[in-house]
Structure 1
Amino acid sequence: MTTHLREITDANRDAVCALRVRPDQEQFVASVAKSLEHAATTPEGEPWYRAVYSGDEPVGFVMLSWNVPPGRPGILGPFFLWRLLIDERHQGRGFGREVVALVVDLIRADGATELLTSYHPGEGEPWPFYRGLGFEPTGEIEDGEIVLRLALSGRE
């Protein structure tokens, strides 16, 4: 099955909002419903989000700040991986890596030279996942989260 991104509509919203990470991961990533709420209340973050599907089954959610103009206070960008959630039943199968690869292709086509993200440090943190994808710490801390950067200078 191929992993692909779909818009969230009235037809799939409930199924996508039902996706959950493992209980020990909840401290690191907000729920889909909370993420959609953040998107609605933070338009200055230029939110762009999609459901992650494997075939016809929703398996995750991804949200970015998409091409944010420079100088917006409190918004990292221009391209920032704001949320990445893979349902607990589908973790460990490569969906997270595939989603990041899909997103990288999309933002690179829109002129991005880097993708930023951040994580809250702690037991079970997602740093090993991001490090494995080539992200590196920027040295910045934003709201207690360690900011990471993936350079997109060439094709992977």
Structure 2
Amino acid sequence: MTGVHLREITDENRDAVCALRVRKHQRKFVASVSCSLEDAADEPEENPWYRAVYSGEEPVGFVMVSLPDSDGRFYLWRLLIDKRHQGRGIGREVLAQIVDTVRSEGGSELFTSYEPGKGAPGPFYRKFGFEPTGEIDDGEIVLKLSLR
């Protein structure tokens, strides 16, 4: 998908980005943007790097990555695509851009995790190439994407 790009969150776009929402049944799997920004501020040791996702000039999502986290792993911490923009390939494009970012930072693996349940994002991540590690972290299934 063309036109999808990442931008810093600033005073000018913060309210619009924080207003983005997932579908009701997805809320238990994805924290809000406001909560994510609070987590980033509360956990600086995780090296949070976050951006607004834009399609053209419209904010359509949010992504947050640890570059790397306190365990030395590059970790996809949050990925949120607004409910009005899901199903258009935006999430896949954002992941591709995150992979490029992690590679440019010297990473060879990208980790993420999700809470299991109906409607969980596991199939989305697996389709992209993430594989289960066998690890469970705080009830979440941990996945790894090899970037080699």
Give the TM bin, normalised by the shorter chain.
over 0.9
CA deviation profile, 1:55-99 (whole Å, cap 9, x unmatched): 00000000011123xxx4xxx542000000000000000000000
Match for 2:78: what amino acid?
A: R
**TM-score normalised according to structure 2 size:** 0.97
Q: 1:144 to 1:77 in 2, by over 3 A?
A: farther
Q: TM-score, normalised by structure 1?
A: 0.92
Which residue of structure 1 aligns with residue 98 of structure 2?
A: 103
Counterpart in 2 of 1:90? 85
Q: Which residue of 2 aligns with 1:56?
A: 57
Which residue matches 2:45? 44
Cα distance in 1 between the residues matched to 2:60 and 2:7: 11
| 8 Å contact from structure 1 (residues 52, 99) kept in 2 | yes
Partner of 1:124: 119
Per the alignment, residue 145 of structure 1 pairs with 140
**How much does 1:120 deviate?**
0.1
Deviation at 1:127, TM superposition (A): 0.7
Structure 2 residue matching 1:104: 3-state secondary structure: helix
Aligned alpha-carbon RMSD (Å) = 0.9
For 2:85 and 2:114, locate their aligned partners in 1 and report how far apart those are by CA, in whole Å: 21
Extract unaligned runs of 5+ from structure 2: none
> Partner letter of residue 13 of structure 1?
R
Instruction: In structure 1, give the amino acid aligned to 2:31.
Output: A
Note the residue ranges of structure 1 that are not aligned, 5 or more in a row. none
Q: Aligned partners of 2:108 and 2:144: how far apart in 1?
A: 10
Query: Between Structure 1 and Structure 2, how many residues are aligned?
Result: 147
Q: 1:81 aligns with which of 64, 76, 95?
A: 76
CA distance in structure 2 between the aligned counterparts of 1:103 and 1:30, rounded to whole angstroms: 19
SS at match of 2:101: helix
Counterpart residue number, 2:109? 114
The answer to whether the 8 Å contact 1:65/1:77 transfers is no
